[in-house]
Structures are given as C-alpha cells and as structure tokens.
Amino acid sequence: MPSDVRLVLVAAGVNQLGAVLEGFLLVYLVHAGLPARDAALAVGGFAVGTLLGAPVGAAATSRLGPRTAMAGALGTTGVLIATVPLAASTASVLLVAALALVVGVSTQAFRPASSEALSRAADEDSSVFVFSAFRVAMNAGALVAPVLAAAAIAADRWVLLFVLDGVTSLLAAGVVARTSAGRSAGAAPAPERATAGGRWSTLLTRRRVLYAVAMLTSGVVYAQTFSTLPLQLSAVGHGPSLYAAILSLGAVTLVVLELPVTTATRSWPVPAAVLVGTVVFGLSFALYGLAPHVAALVLLSAVLAVAGTTVSAPRLWSFPSGEPEALRPAMFAVSQAAFGVGMALGPVVGVSAWRAVGEGWWAAVALVGVVSALAGAYGTSVAPVRQGA
C-alpha cells in the first residue's frame, strides 16, 4: 500500500477518535444552559456547514492541492472546535451557531481533499479497496470516540470532549502534512478560474446526474437510522439500549466485513455490485416495519443494511476516482454534497411521514432504496477513463 494511502488512513482514524461534536453538541449546549431551541439552531448551523464544506473542499483541492487542503481543513477544525466551550459560555446563540457552521465547513472540506489524495496515490485497480479501507479506518475511530466521550461526561469533564476533538484533528493535520499530494503541475490557478464554469457544466451528463441521484437517495435512506428509527423504537416500548446496540453492531459489522467483502467481490462489475449492495441495503429497512416489537428482527435489519453497504459503498464512494484529474475534485464534491443533502432531507421527510403513516413508512424507505440502486447501477455503468489534468 503506498505511503500516502497509509498516511491518509491513519489521519482519518485519528481524526475520528475525537469526532464527538456532531453527536454531543446539542447535549452539551443544553447542559451549558442554552435553551433546547437555541441548541438545535446551533446544530442546524453545523449541518448547513457540512453541506457547504464539500464544494469548499473541492475548490481548495483544485487550487492548493490535496495535502494543503487536508491539512488546512483539519487544522481549522482542531482550533475552532476547542473554542466551542468558550463560545457557549457567552450564551450567544448566534456566536455558537456561526462557529458551528464554520466547523461544519472545515470538517466536511476534508472529504473531497482526502478522496483526491487517495485517488492520486492508488492505481485504478486498487481504488475500490483503498476507499474500503478508508471507510474502515473512519469507522474504527468512530467506535472508540463514544467510549471516550462517555468517560468524559461521566467524570463531568464536558470541556474534555472538545479538547479531545481539537487535539485529534490537529494530530491528523500533522499526519496528512507528510503526504506528497501537492498541487498538480497542470492545475495552475489562472486557468482554473477561467475554465471552472466549463468544467462544472461537463458534470451534467445523464450518467453523472443519476450517480448523484443515487448518492442523494442513499443519504435519505441512511438518515432514517438516526432520526425515524429511534422514534419508532421508543414508540413501541424499546429502551435506548436497543438503539445503542444497533449503532454499535452496525459499526462492528462494517469494520469486520468491509475489507473481506470488498476482496471477495473485487471481480464484480461495478454496476452489479452497486445494484446488489444497494438493494440489500434498501430492502433491509422494510424489516423495521414488519415486526418492530421483535428486537432480534430489528438487529437483523441493522446487520443486513451494513452488509449491503460493504458491497456497494466502496464502489459508489470511489467511483469519481476514475474521472479525469481536472474533474475529480468536483465529482467528489458532487457525490459528497449529494449524500449530505440526502442526510439533511432524510430526517425532515422521514419523521413527518412516519408520524403521518406509521410503520408503513418503512416500505416507502425500501422503495427509495431500490430507486437508489437502479440509479447507481446506471450511473456507474460507463466507467470514466482516468486521465491527467
């Protein structure tokens, strides 16, 4: 495995060790004395920032190169996250929301830059495996983060949450600074400005649009895990321990299965892997509506959902790596922004629909998953040809 790939994987894992802001910001702000409505506004600021972060990261990658973009994003995140307790102490919801928005931008800006760095370091044949390893590294770190956060909260050291998040981001910035992924010699700033509109317009092919639709609808489906599902589990009488078990089991399943499944399906055509994996992922959500009182069936659904993503997600997330170099950062931004929009829309649509139709909503979620599978299969059916800038 190339050294740049190893460095990016290490940075991703280290960064995720302290990635607690998204999961604990609202709880912390309420603990710090902000009204729940104001705390929710701050969390909304972070969500908006993550939507803006993908195009910002893509632009920085094209102009400065992946190494500088990655280090800048992680360094900015590290410094700003550590100031969250100070901002919260002012009781100014606008200040906290603005800070959360900027942190959201810098957090998400790392993704297009890291994806471009991996694409440059890995050849086309190994790109799927490399992106699979990237997902494993991030999820392995994410497994540890809640444990560290719980320990800090149990000791009533809430500030340590943000110190930990900031320190791990800065450590990750130091790691990626050692990569060799500088700005491409062919990506001079002036031509970039002159041709940016033309390059973005070339993205609007039918295949690329359907690929973006697949990413967006996958985000809508995936978001149900963190929004509608906990509400339904509570409504039918399950305690929070079952939901915690679902999240933990899903993370463990991904870490254990991702690389072996990617290796076993390496010879599959990309559209076939996307179709099969996404269909399994989508249909698994239908089980949540069949027998929500049965904990074993709920856990089975969670395992099937993750198992499906181990087949399809590495192909979907790595697919832009085959684009011409001048288009890669933009395509990575499109894929990540589309998924982010789906993640933002999913809770709003899902919770409203579930309250209106109840358990029947999960059949609609499964249908959206099938649509996502079909769009993804068609969108990846003509492999892009990797070229230089």
CATH number given to 3-178: 1.20.1250.20
Rounded Cα gap, residues 276 and 103, in angstroms: 36
Which two three-digit tokens encode residue 26? Answer: 């609202």
Residue 344 in contact with residue 47, Cβ under 8 Å?
yes
67 within 8 A of 180, measured Cβ to Cβ: yes
Which of 5-14, 38-47, 315-324, 365-374 reaches the highest mean pLDDT?
A: 365-374
Residue boundaries of the structural domains of the chain: 3-178, 203-379
pLDDT, residue 182, reads: 62
Query: Tens digit of pLDDT for each residue in 169-178?
Result: 999 999 999 9
DSSP annotation of 155: T
Confidence of residue 298 (pLDDT cuts 50, 70, 90): very high
Once rounded to an integer, what is the mean pLDDT over residues 189-197? 44
Q: How far is CA 34 from CA 25, 100, 154, in A?
A: 11, 15, 20
Q: Tell me the C-alpha distance between 75 and 128, whole Å.
A: 28
* One-letter amino acid for residue 253 of the chain: T
What's the token pair of residue 44?
Answer: 């909304």
pLDDT digits (tens, 9 = 90+) for 16-38: 877 777 767 877 888 888 887 78
Q: Crossing angle, helix 66-81 and helix 93-121, to 10 degrees?
A: 150
Q: How confident is the model at residue 122 (pLDDT cuts 50, 70, 90)?
A: confident
Query: pLDDT tens digit string along 338-361?
Result: 998 898 888 889 989 999 999 999
Please, what is the average pLDDT of the chain? 86
Contacts of 27 (CB under 8 A, 6+ apart): none
Q: What is the pLDDT of residue 374?
A: 98
Chain center to CA of 377: 21
**Right CATH for 203-379 from 3.40.50.720, 1.20.1250.20, 1.10.287.980, 1.10.3720.10:** 1.20.1250.20
Cα separation, 16 vs 140, in Å, equals 8
